């Protein structure tokens, strides 16, 4: 592999931190993950819980006192903060007073969650010829037992000792030279570490993997592009399935009752050119319901068939039980809010939550279907949303108290034009070009959606598009951020501003909340720093 791992341990700091905080690291069991709501002081998975609500039951910071929030501590990762190597996209985990996160270029760190002081740091030495399409980013970790797990930009899956940062195991999932990278935060389910690659812009063949948390041995793999003989292969022209893309680069959800893992996939490859891959191109842009033990496909729902506009479905799927209905919902990049029955994947409704001009009809299942003449052309075709989508990977939030689903929504239109390419392993494989239309609004907002109807209850407007995830809490508040560096607190019921703080760097990740010594904190990344805030 050639990669040399380095470890910077701060054992004296560790000893001091453990001594003065009086913490004893507890094993993170599967039972704790299933019942994460019992310990709101901790943030145990990327989205905060298996249902992917990105909701905190902490209520110390609330509508009444939110205006008085102050910065508590800031951790500088040492990565470039100008975005040239990608942005700082991690969602930190917190377990019993210790905070874990990742940063660009294979950085992993553990901090004293009360002071921000480092316990240990790790940085992977990456090969020079990795091919991350969209920055040398990483979105976070999974934690199980006494280990933290993450994926690397050279397509390895790794386990580090949660107390020391020592490498416990390191497994090459696939060949990074073909364009595979890992940027997603894995999900720990039972004794498995679930992960899926990025690389839809490189003609990879996507998959979802499950690794034994103790040994790193791969237990199952589900290819998101079926091979000949498998159902779905008929949706690919000729050998196009071999380079079909469909990467699963955002963390999914898990339903412990049905033992179903919900994972989403991105665009088919080449990402913006349908010529040569005629058909629906399963399972690109799809929500997959997989048996968590075996990876067997239970059902699937494809949001955008035969995509030529880069409308990945890699937006967090959210499990909601409401009015006796067992649902899974997604605000999709193509501009529709989808409501599905969780047991069988039946589409119940699809409602636009932003400006779309690509569809005026629905197929037999009720799925929005593209109008004729929406494909890219040599001269260029204007379509809304553009490739960035009405929303994207940044996390939504569902607040069971307000019953509202919150999402960052951006209004944009692109000109899609053709640019034929031939596949070459490891090279970018787009097949077309896109650029903002001259009249593209470029406007972002937070929208609060009533899940059962898709109706927007309120909206908070940003001054430009935003890539901020959202966090709602039992304090009746909602955290968001903007491209200008503001971290913003809203009233979750009405959307009015309660507080804001200028971080100095674009917000390009999702907030999370935790508590130490009975004090609630909220954390967000911006620039090259992790900021925390709390009451005075």
Partner 1 sequence: MFVIRNGVVRPGLHPSGWSGLLILLALAAAARAQDRNPFANDPKAVDAGKSHFRINCSMCHGLGARGGGRGPDLTLARKKHGNSDAALFRTIHDGVPGTDMPAALGSVGVEMKDQEIWQVITYLRSIEIKTPPPAGNAANGKALFYGAAGCSKCHMVDGKGGRLGPDLTAVGSSRSLESIVDSVRNPSRQLADGYQTVTVVTAEGQETKGFIMNEDRFSVQMMDTSERILLLEREKLRSFKKSSVSLMPPYDTTQLSDKDLRDIVGYLLAAGAN
Residue numbers of the site for partner 1 (CB under 8 A)? 2, 83-86, 127-129, 131, 133-135, 380, 415, 417-421, 427-428, 430, 432-436, 438, 462-463, 482, 484-486, 488, 497, 500, 502
| The token pair that represents 117 in the structure block | 């002081």
Phi, psi of 273 (to 5 degrees): -140, 120
Q: 3-class DSSP state for residue 68?
A: helix
What's the rounded Cα separation, in Å, for the pair 329 and 350? Answer: 10
Q: Shortest approach of partner 1 to residue 387 CB, angstroms?
A: 10
Task: Report the number of secondary-structure helices (H) and strands (E) in the chain.
Answer: 2, 39
What's the rounded Cα separation, in Å, for the pair 199 and 183? Answer: 10
Q: Shortest approach of partner 1 to residue 398 CB, angstroms?
A: 24
Q: Shortest approach of partner 1 to residue 488 CB, angstroms?
A: 7
Residues in a beta bridge with 454: none
Q: Shortest approach of partner 1 to residue 335 CB, angstroms?
A: 21
- 335 Cβ partners below 8 Å, 6+ apart? 352, 353, 354, 355, 356, 358, 384, 385, 389, 390
Distance set, CA 374 to CA 153, 314, 356, 381, 470 (Å)? 34, 22, 12, 7, 32
Q: Shortest approach of partner 1 to residue 501 CB, angstroms?
A: 10
Nearer to partner 1, 232 or 270 (CB): 270
The answer to whether residues 262 and 328 touch, using CB atoms and an 8 Å cutoff, is: yes
Q: Shortest approach of partner 1 to residue 86 CB, angstroms?
A: 6
Contacts of range 454-458, beta carbons closer than 8 Å, 24 or more positions apart: 454/337, 454/339, 454/349, 454/350, 454/351, 454/352, 454/353, 455/351, 456/353, 457/404, 458/494, 458/495
Q: 3-class DSSP state for residue 37?
A: helix
Nearer to partner 1, 338 or 393 (CB): 393
Nearer to partner 1, 400 or 436 (CB): 436
Nearer to partner 1, 4 or 12 (CB): 4
What's the rounded Cα separation, in Å, for the pair 91 and 185? Answer: 8
Q: Choose among 111, 52, 110, 137: nearest CA to 512.
A: 52
Nearer to partner 1, 15 or 134 (CB): 134
Q: How many other C-beta atoms can be found within 10 angstroms of the C-beta atom of residue 76?
A: 12
Q: Choose among 191, 210, 220: nearest CA to 252.
A: 210
Q: Concatenated DSSP letters for 363-428?
A: -TTS-EEPPSS-S-BSS-EEESS-TT-SS-SS--EEETTTTEEEEEEEE--EEEEE------TTS-
Nearer to partner 1, 276 or 380 (CB): 380
Q: Shortest approach of partner 1 to residue 37 CB, angstroms?
A: 33
Q: Shortest approach of partner 1 to residue 498 CB, angstroms?
A: 13
The answer to whether residues 533 and 489 touch, using CB atoms and an 8 Å cutoff, is: no
- CA R_g for the chain: 22
Q: Which of 105, 209, 307, 310 is catalytic?
A: 310
Nearer to partner 1, 21 or 433 (CB): 433
Q: Shortest approach of partner 1 to residue 229 CB, angstroms?
A: 34
Nearer to partner 1, 84 or 455 (CB): 84
Phi, psi of 151 (to 5 degrees): -105, 155
The answer to whether residues 435 and 528 touch, using CB atoms and an 8 Å cutoff, is: no
Q: 3-class DSSP state for residue 234?
A: helix
Nearer to partner 1, 163 or 500 (CB): 500
Active site residue 310: yes
Q: Shortest approach of partner 1 to residue 396 CB, angstroms?
A: 20
Report the side by side order of strands in the sheet with 325-331. Answer: 318-322, 325-331, 336-341, 347-352
Nearer to partner 1, 112 or 482 (CB): 482
**Residues recognised as catalytic:** 310
């Amino acid at each position: 592999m050639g990669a040399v791992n380095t470890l910077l341990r701060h054992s004296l700091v560790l000893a001091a931190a453990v001594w003065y905080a009086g913490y004893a690291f507890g094993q993170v069991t599967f039972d704790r993950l299933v019942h994460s709501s019992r310990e709101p002081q901790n943030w145990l998975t990327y989205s905060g819980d298996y249902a992917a609500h990105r909701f905190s039951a902490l209520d110390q910071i609330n509508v009444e006192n939110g205006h008085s929030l102050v910065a508590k501590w800031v951790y500088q990762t040492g990565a470039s903060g100008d975005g040239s190597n990608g942005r700082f996209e991690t969602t930190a985990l917190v377990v019993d007073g210790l905070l874990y996160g990742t940063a660009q270029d294979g950085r992993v760190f553990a901090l004293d969650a009360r002071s921000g002081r480092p316990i240990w740091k790790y940085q992977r030495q990456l090969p020079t010829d990795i091919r991350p399409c969209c920055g040398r980013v990483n979105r976070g970790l999974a934690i199980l037992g006494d280990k933290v797990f993450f994926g690397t930009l050279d397509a390895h899956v790794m386990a580090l000792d949660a107390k020391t940062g020592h490498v416990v195991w390191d497994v090459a999932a696939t060949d990074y030279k073909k364009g595979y990278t890992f940027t997603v935060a894995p999900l720990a389910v039972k004794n498995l570490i679930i992960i899926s690659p990025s690389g839809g812009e490189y003609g990879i063949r996507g998959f979802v993997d499950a690794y034994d948390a103790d040994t790193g041995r791969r237990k199952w793999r589900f290819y998101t592009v079926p091979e000949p003989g498998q159902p779905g292969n008929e949706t690919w022209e000729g050998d196009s399935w071999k380079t079909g893309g469909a990467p699963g680069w955002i963390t999914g959800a898990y339903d412990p009752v049905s033992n179903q893992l919900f994972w989403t996939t991105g665009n088919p490859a080449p990402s913006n050119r349908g010529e040569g891959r005629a058909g629906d191109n399963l399972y690109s842009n799809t929500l997959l319901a997989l048996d968590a033990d075996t990876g067997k496909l239970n059902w699937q729902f494809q949001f955008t068939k035969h995509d030529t506009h880069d409308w990945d479905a890699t937006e967090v799927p959210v499990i909601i039980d409401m009015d006796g209905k067992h649902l899974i919902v997604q605000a999709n990049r193509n501009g529709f809010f989808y409501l599905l029955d969780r047991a069988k994947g039946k589409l119940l409704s699809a409602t636009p939550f932003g400006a779309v001009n690509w569809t005026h009809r629905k197929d037999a299942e009720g799925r929005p279907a593209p109008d004729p003449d929406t494909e890219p052309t040599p001269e260029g075709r204007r379509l809304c949303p553009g490739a960035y989508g009405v929303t994207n990977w940044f996390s939504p939030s569902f607040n069971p108290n307000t019953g509202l689903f919150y999402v960052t929504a951006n209004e944009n239109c692109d000109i899609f034009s053709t640019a034929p390419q031939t596949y070459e392993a490891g090279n970018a494989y787009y097949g077309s070009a896109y650029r903002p239309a001259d009249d593209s609004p470029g406007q972002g907002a937070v929208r609060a959606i009533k899940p059962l109807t898709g109706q927007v209850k309120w909206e908070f407007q940003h001054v430009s598009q935003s890539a901020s995830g959202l966090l709602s809490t039992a304090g009746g508040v909602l955290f968001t951020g903007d491209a200008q560096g503001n971290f913003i607190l809203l009233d979750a019921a009405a959307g009015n501003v309660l507080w804001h703080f200028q971080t100095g760097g674009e917000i390009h990740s999702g907030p999370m909340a935790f508590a130490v010594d009975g004090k609630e904190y909220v954390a967000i990344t911006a620039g090259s720093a992790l900021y925390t805030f709390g009451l005075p």
